[in-house]
Structure 1
Amino acid sequence: MTRPSKALIDLAALRQNYLTARNLHGGRALAVVKANAYGHGAVFCARALSDIADGFAVAFMAEALELRQAGITRPILVLEGCFDLDELIAAHANQIWFAVHQRAQIEMLEKAGLPPSSTHAWLKVDSGMHRAGFGLDDVKEAYKLLSRVPAVSSITLMSHFARADEPGESATEEQVKAFEEVTRDLPGDRSLCNSAGVLAWPDARRDWARPGILLYGANPLPASFLAQHPEQKLAPVMSLLSEIFAVKTLNPGDALGYGGTFVADRTMRVGLVAIGYADGYPRGVPTGTPVAIDGNASRIVGRVSMDMLNVDLTHLPQAGIGSQVELWGRQVDINQVAHHANTIAYELLCNVKRVPRIYTDQ
């Protein structure tokens, strides 16, 4: 018998979310498929988007080359830029765009001897996140140096938001203002919005968006914001599924699982589910974390093990061996699971492993 755990990936939902992002933002949008498309499978997702996406973005060159080798011909942007000369040459050979966020990368371009007007560079501005990018006092000089490199045909100016997922905070407005002031006289396209920027900050929308987590149906914004913006409904792309493969009755006082962290206070039926933290489900979720069993709401009880976990069947007399369990997906919001695990949906999706990915297009 095949182990029943799986990650069901809905490619139609992925396309729907991409179009939602691009239509909301306006202009063009790079679909961010770094980290194996946030755990969804980069090649499969890029192929599903290849007829509608304006391009793609990844973290580093190996991810870009994987897409090119899989036949993806749309533009690809490498967000971390090139680490060495070999990567720069590979980027040129494969028509890959790359970010330039430090002086050493400009010097590398100057020394590379690439053909004239053969490279599209994205100059990254540190508008307030203080991670990667040229500081505000250095942007104009960096732009001048980069534009003088014969190989550079065009420059897109970009930045990244630190707190766009906090609609009530002023940090994003301050970053937009700082970016505008320092780039006002510099030619080229602009790119500011990540997923939260697309959804919550209309004044930040420019030529190119870079939607990531929203493509996969996990909204990065607080529930209070979503309640006020029902038009921004996203379709979950991944449903993490398994089945109950054993049922046990607990008597009052029985302790369940490792550490005995859950003790029954009444007679209970519990189901043993074939999935655990080795599959990427978070070990640290407490009793009460939501699941759906044959479409009915229930909860996890006890500690998550490496290969299995327990769910409460007491109120579901019809559930038993073979009942389907959704850990997150269309019925169980992954953000709720992330909240119980004291993390974010990004991490949960990226951690999915060992379970087979089954692709559908419905």
Structure 2
Amino acid sequence: MSRPVQASIDLQALRQNLNIIRRAAPQSRVWSVVKANAYGHGLERSWSALNSTDGFALLNLEEAIMLRERGWKGPILLLEGFFHADELALFDKYRLTTSIHSNWQIKAIQNARLNAPLDVYVKVNSGMNRLGFAPDRIHTVWQQLRALPGVGEMTLMSHFAVAERPDGIVDAMKRVAQATEGLECARSLSNSAATMWHPEAHYDWVRPGIVLYGASPSGQWQDIANSGLKPVMTLSSEIIAVQNLKPGEGVGYGQRYRSTQEQRIGIVACGYADGYPRHAPDGTPVLVDGVRTGIVGTVSMDMLAVDLTPCPQAGIGTSVELWGKEIKIDDVASACGTVGYELMCALAPRVPVVTV
């Protein structure tokens, strides 16, 4: 019998989440962001559930080529653009849209021999201070690119740093307004948070990422609880052993947790080598046989321990949900001091994945 840990991917939930996003931004086209192997969900298994999208946005050239070879004929946006000038031959061959955020990329397109112009997304730095041109340079950059025969349709893009806050895009929108004063152009500004909560920033294209997969861009599940969005990934396993602790006995490496009374402990086949966070504290929520309880002790490479006090009926073979439909990944991440994005992307290759 194989080890019982597995991840299940609910493709219907993925389709439904895309439809909810469309209703949130009805006047905009949608870039479905599938970077990081579709946020850990597996691009090969997930992309067809999103085939009603207007385009796919990602980072890796290899994944873009895979989508083309699987039959996707719509737009594909490389969010960080090309990294070396010689990659432009593949952008040309596979008809990929590139972001432009640096002077050297402009020069590379100028020198490239292309069969047809490439569509480009010109990135303005609206305060995130990662990629992009300063707002006062956008007009100059825009004219430089517009003059190049290798450039087709042009769109202005940016990224919000704190769009999960009610006033989180105010300063960024001022910088974008400065950059585009007098410039008539298509725009793509909205990440997941802005797509759901800032309709004034929707414009021509929105770029939802984490909300496609049913988690909250704020890290708080309550913020999307009434949206209809559903978790796509469920990480589950089973209890493979039961320990009966006496008062004062400990659990796991370092004996971080010690029982104050007689206590049944379930040992679950899942650990940090499967992608579960090693630093998860005592009480991090899990679902055992439909009952909410918490982990106890330090997470091991292959196992973790859970408190069976609330579920005395549980025993060897009892099902455990680590995150998913009932135990929201945002709640697990919050307990661990991180975000759901990290947990999704950390799912280990050794975990079997099934699609629902």
Verify same fold: TM over 0.5: yes
Name the amino acid aligned to 1:21.
I
Give the whole-Å Cα distance in 1 for the aligned partners of 2:175 and 2:148: 26
In the alignment, does 2:247 pair up with 1:252? yes
Q: 1:177: which partner in 2?
A: 174
What is the CA distance between 1:86 and its match in structure 2?
2.2
Q: 1:134: which partner in 2?
A: 133
In the alignment, does 2:16 pair up with 1:16? yes
Q: 2:347: which partner in 1?
A: 352
Preserved CA contact (<8 Å) 1:243 1:274: yes
Preserved CA contact (<8 Å) 1:60 1:82: no
CA distance change for structure 1 residues 224 and 10 in 2, over 3 Å: closer, same or farther?
closer
Q: Secondary structure at the match of 1:114?
A: coil
Give the whole-Å Cα distance in 2 for the aligned partners of 1:337 and 1:204: 30
In the alignment, does 2:157 pair up with 1:162? no
Q: 1:286: which partner in 2?
A: 281
Q: Secondary structure at the match of 2:13?
A: helix
Pairwise CA RMSD: 1.5
In the alignment, does 2:220 pair up with 1:219? no
Q: 2:31: which partner in 1?
A: 30
Q: 2:185: which partner in 1?
A: 188
CA distance change for structure 1 residues 230 and 314 in 2, over 3 Å: closer, same or farther?
closer
Preserved CA contact (<8 Å) 2:249 2:259: yes
CA distance change for structure 1 residues 255 and 230 in 2, over 3 Å: closer, same or farther?
closer
Give the whole-Å Cα distance in 1 for the aligned partners of 2:112 and 2:328: 48
Preserved CA contact (<8 Å) 1:22 1:209: no
CA distance change for structure 1 residues 230 and 282 in 2, over 3 Å: closer, same or farther?
closer
Preserved CA contact (<8 Å) 2:272 2:299: yes
Q: Give the % identical residues.
A: 46
Gaps of 5+ in 2: none
What is the CA distance between 1:301 and its match in structure 2?
0.8
Preserved CA contact (<8 Å) 1:154 1:188: no
The Cα offsets for residues 250-308 of structure 1, whole Å up to 9 and x where unpaired, read as 11111111001011111111111000000000000111010001111111011100000
Give the whole-Å Cα distance in 2 for the aligned partners of 1:323 and 1:231: 31
Give the whole-Å Cα distance in 2 for the aligned partners of 1:303 and 1:71: 46
What is the CA distance between 1:230 and its match in structure 2?
5.3
The Cα offsets for residues 108-153 of structure 1, whole Å up to 9 and x where unpaired, read as 000002135x211111111111110010111111000111110212
The Cα offsets for residues 35-57 of structure 1, whole Å up to 9 and x where unpaired, read as 0000000121111111x110100
Preserved CA contact (<8 Å) 2:221 2:331: no
What is the CA distance between 1:186 and its match in structure 2?
2.4
Give the whole-Å Cα distance in 2 for the aligned partners of 1:32 and 1:223: 20
The Cα offsets for residues 174-205 of structure 1, whole Å up to 9 and x where unpaired, read as 11122123213323311000001111212111
Q: 2:301: which partner in 1?
A: 306
Preserved CA contact (<8 Å) 1:46 1:72: no
Give the whole-Å Cα distance in 1 for the aligned partners of 2:37 and 2:280: 24
What is the CA distance between 1:171 and its match in structure 2?
4.2
What is the CA distance between 1:317 and its match in structure 2?
1.8
Preserved CA contact (<8 Å) 1:165 1:222: no
What is the CA distance between 1:63 and its match in structure 2?
2.4
Give the whole-Å Cα distance in 2 for the aligned partners of 1:70 and 1:86: 24
Name the amino acid aligned to 2:170.
E
TM (normalized to structure 1)?
A: 0.95
Give the whole-Å Cα distance in 2 for the aligned partners of 1:330 and 1:85: 44
Preserved CA contact (<8 Å) 1:115 1:150: no
The Cα offsets for residues 202-254 of structure 1, whole Å up to 9 and x where unpaired, read as 2111110000000000011264972xx75423100000000001111011111
Preserved CA contact (<8 Å) 1:219 1:234: no
Q: 1:143: which partner in 2?
A: 142
TM (normalized to structure 2)?
A: 0.96
